[in-house]
């Protein structure tokens, strides 16, 4: 058996097929990378799911034969299949506004307390539960979350991987099975939710036509198919006293726990209890993340991120900060204009140059990280001595330093490709090459470049800035 594994990892701004080799330690190389983003058609925001599938096949062809394949992506979004297994309509992007008001309506009908008690999930307007209630489900026989849909196209096998299913709002947080009575109470068709599968389980071999197209064949295995579950699995932590921030388009900031926290305080702070691998709970909150920066860059064609980050480091500290989680920042659009409005609304002068906007975004994000990490510790009772910042954001030196300063804790940055690493390590474990979560994490710690940032001790200025926005 070869010690090579392929990770298909779809992020909101780019997708990639990564190749891992565990013959000697753990090395990861990129077989193929491709852009991803929303497509607006007739006022609705979609993913280009077929384009993504084509790029996945191109990536697998480039990767060459492996022992197995795992697929992960962002959460909550799905495709609906008809009786014959054909896709009914194009999957809608979670930033589409068709769910406006749905969360409030559902809370009014079933009660916000009940929803939290059943699913343990934070309320985000785009949770699957709200999307399904906003969609037409006529003719739908099966609902497949994005990685499960890709897995279905690759193998012909339908199922719902449990870490991602936990982001739907329709999975029972205690039993990790579909919350059938809630599903029925909401009037959703219970039959569209496929059987659950666990990370490490084999889906099956590639369909013959798929194998013919990429030139080789291998089994597909379920992994932590929610990208954040895979990223947290690959956090290079040595013991339990850590917090993590999986920082990409979103920043997912929190702690790992053996069981859920379902207290009224936790619900009020909108903390989520998402399923991690091996029965762990990802106790975290979504912080708006690098989306703020990505959307600023889209508004400034021709700008250079490296230059802007360097210039931002030299800008005046705390000239203006915003609460990064204001709902107004969620949809695509003119981000600098929305940041300027938010500054004015909170009695601050808007930034006056792109570098000043970038400074504002990075300080604001660090404030978001600080609040989420502190509340996660407080609400769960879990103390952290270090913050592991993983994902693409770990390459952003200014953000890593700001996060250490704002939180008053050391930040260990990296790996940038934590998600792909978590994906392949679950496959390698299923193949018997790695023993458990602890060994997976130490393999990451020893094989991947990491960088440590110490807090600078300027806590007072961060306290003052936090008081301005929260």
Residue from the set 20, 76, 141, 245 that interacts with ligand LFR by CB under 6 A: 76
C-alpha distances in Å from residue 94, one per residue of 46, 130, 146, 344: 8, 10, 12, 28
Residue from the set 250, 271, 291, 357 that interacts with ligand LFR by CB under 6 A: 250
The pairing of beta strand 251-257 with beta strand 281-287: antiparallel
Say which of 227, 304, 325, 405 is annotated catalytic.
227
Part in contact with ligand LFR (CB under 6 A); list of ranges 199-207, 221-229, 378-386, 438-446 = 221-229
CB of 15 to ligand LFR, least distance (A): 12
CB of 130 to ligand LFR, least distance (A): 13
| By the rule CB under 6 A, 75 interacts with ligand LFR | yes
Part in contact with ligand LFR (CB under 6 A); list of ranges 147-155, 226-234, 313-321, 452-460 = 226-234
Part in contact with ligand LFR (CB under 6 A); list of ranges 72-80, 147-155, 202-210, 353-361 = 72-80
176 with 196: CB under 8 angstroms? Answer: yes
**Tokens 């099956």 map to which residue?**
204
For 76-179, where are the alpha helices, taking DSSP H only? 102-110, 112-119, 128-134, 146-155, 162-165
Residue from the set 227, 295, 325, 342 that interacts with ligand LFR by CB under 6 A: 227
Is 227 catalytic? The answer is yes
Residue from the set 142, 228, 396, 427 that interacts with ligand LFR by CB under 6 A: 228
| By the rule CB under 6 A, 10 interacts with ligand LFR | no
The pairing of beta strand 386-390 with beta strand 242-247: parallel
CB of 94 to ligand LFR, least distance (A): 5
| Count of CB atoms situated within 10 Å of the CB of 409 | 21
CB of 227 to ligand LFR, least distance (A): 5
Angle between helices 305-313 and 354-380 (to 10 degrees): 80
Part in contact with ligand LFR (CB under 6 A); list of ranges 247-255, 256-264, 322-330, 442-450 = 247-255
b/e code 10-33 from CB counts within 10 Å (16+ = b): bbbebbbbbbbbbeeebebeebbe
Which of 66/335 has CB closer to ligand LFR?
335
The 3-state DSSP class for residue 455 equals coil
Which residues have a Cβ under 8 Å from the Cβ of 307 and sit 6 or more positions away? Answer: none
Residue from the set 5, 74, 153, 329 that interacts with ligand LFR by CB under 6 A: 74
CB of 245 to ligand LFR, least distance (A): 12
CB of 354 to ligand LFR, least distance (A): 26
Which of 36/266 has CB closer to ligand LFR?
36
| By the rule CB under 6 A, 417 interacts with ligand LFR | no
b/e code 239-277 from CB counts within 10 Å (16+ = b): eeebbbbbbbbbbbbbbbbeebbbeeebbebbbbbbbbb
The region that residue 62 occupies, defined by phi over 0 for left and psi between -120 and 50 for alpha, beta otherwise, is alpha
| By the rule CB under 6 A, 155 interacts with ligand LFR | no
The CA-based diameter of the chain, rounded to the nearest angstrom, is 63
Which of 6/76 has CB closer to ligand LFR?
76
| By the rule CB under 6 A, 286 interacts with ligand LFR | yes
Which of 20/75 has CB closer to ligand LFR?
75
C-alpha distances in Å from residue 340, one per residue of 236, 360, 364: 38, 10, 13
Which of 158/252 has CB closer to ligand LFR?
252
Query: Mask: binding to ligand LFR, 11-40, rule CB under 6 A, as x and -?
Result: -x----------------------------
Distance between CA 435 and CA 446 in Å, rounded? 16
Residue from the set 5, 47, 78, 94 that interacts with ligand LFR by CB under 6 A: 94
Which of 76/469 has CB closer to ligand LFR?
76
CB of 228 to ligand LFR, least distance (A): 4
| By the rule CB under 6 A, 329 interacts with ligand LFR | no
Distance between CA 369 and CA 339 in Å, rounded? 18
6 DSSP β-pair partners: 19, 69
Distance between CA 300 and CA 28 in Å, rounded? 33
DSSP assigned state of 33? E
Q: Output the six-digit token pair for 73.
A: 């992506």
Number of residues that bind ligand LFR (CB under 6 A): 13
> Which residues contribute to the site for ligand LFR (CB under 6 A)?
12, 74-76, 94, 226-228, 248-250, 252, 286
Residues annotated as catalytic are 227
């Amino acid at each position: 058996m070869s010690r090579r594994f392929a990770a298909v990892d779809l992020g909101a701004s780019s997708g990639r097929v990564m190749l891992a080799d565990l013959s000697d330690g753990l090395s990861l190389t990129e077989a193929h990378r491709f852009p991803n983003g929303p497509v607006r058609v007739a006022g609705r925001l979609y993913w280009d799911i077929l384009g993504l599938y084509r790029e996945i096949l191109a990536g697998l062809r480039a990767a060459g034969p492996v022992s197995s394949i795992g697929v992960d992506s962002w959460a909550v979004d799905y495709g609906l299949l008809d009786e014959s297994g054909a896709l009914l309509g194009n999957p809608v992007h979670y930033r589409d506004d068709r769910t406006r008001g749905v969360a409030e309506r559902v809370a009014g009908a079933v009660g916000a307390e009940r929803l939290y008690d059943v699913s343990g999930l934070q309320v985000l307007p785009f949770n699957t539960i709200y999307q399904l209630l906003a969609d037409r489900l006529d003719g739908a026989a099966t609902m497949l979350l994005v990685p499960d849909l890709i897995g279905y196209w690759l193998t012909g096998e339908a199922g719902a991987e449990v870490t991602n299913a936990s982001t739907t709002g329709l999975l029972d947080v205690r039993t990790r099975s579909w919350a059938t009575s809630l599903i029925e109470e909401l009037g959703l068709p219970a039959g569209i939710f496929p059987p659950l599968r666990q990370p490490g389980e084999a889906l099956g071999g590639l369909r013959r036509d798929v194998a013919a197209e990429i030139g080789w064949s291998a089994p597909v295995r379920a992994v932590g198919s929610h990208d954040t579950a895979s990223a947290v699995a690959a956090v290079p932590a040595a013991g339990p006293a850590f917090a993590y921030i999986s920082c990409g388009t979103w920043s997912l900031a929190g702690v790992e726990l053996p069981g859920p926290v379902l207290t009224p305080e936790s619900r009020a702070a909108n903390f989520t209890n998402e399923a991690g691998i091996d029965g762990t709970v990802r106790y975290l909150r979504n912080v708006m993340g690098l989306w703020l920066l990505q959307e600023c860059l889209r508004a400034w064609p021709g700008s250079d991120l490296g230059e802007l980050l360097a210039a931002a480091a030299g800008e005046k500290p705390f000239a203006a900060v915003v609460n990064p989680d204001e709902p107004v920042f969620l949809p695509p659009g003119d981000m600098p204009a929305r940041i300027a409005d938010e500054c004015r609304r909170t009695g601050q002068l808007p930034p006056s140059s792109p570098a000043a906007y970038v400074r504002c975004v990075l300080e604001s994000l660090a404030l978001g990280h600080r609040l989420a990490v502190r509340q996660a510790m407080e609400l769960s009772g879990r103390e952290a001595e270090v913050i592991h910042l993983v994902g693409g954001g770990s390459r952003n030196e200014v953000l890593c330093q700001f996060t250490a300063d704002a939180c008053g804790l050391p930040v260990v940055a990296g790996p940038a490709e934590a998600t792909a690493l978590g994906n392949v390590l679950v496959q390698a474990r299923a193949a018997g090459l790695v023993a458990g979560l602890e060994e997976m994490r130490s393999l990451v710690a020893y094989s991947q470049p990491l960088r440590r940032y110490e807090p600078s001790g300027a806590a007072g200025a961060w306290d003052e800035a936090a008081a301005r926005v929260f």
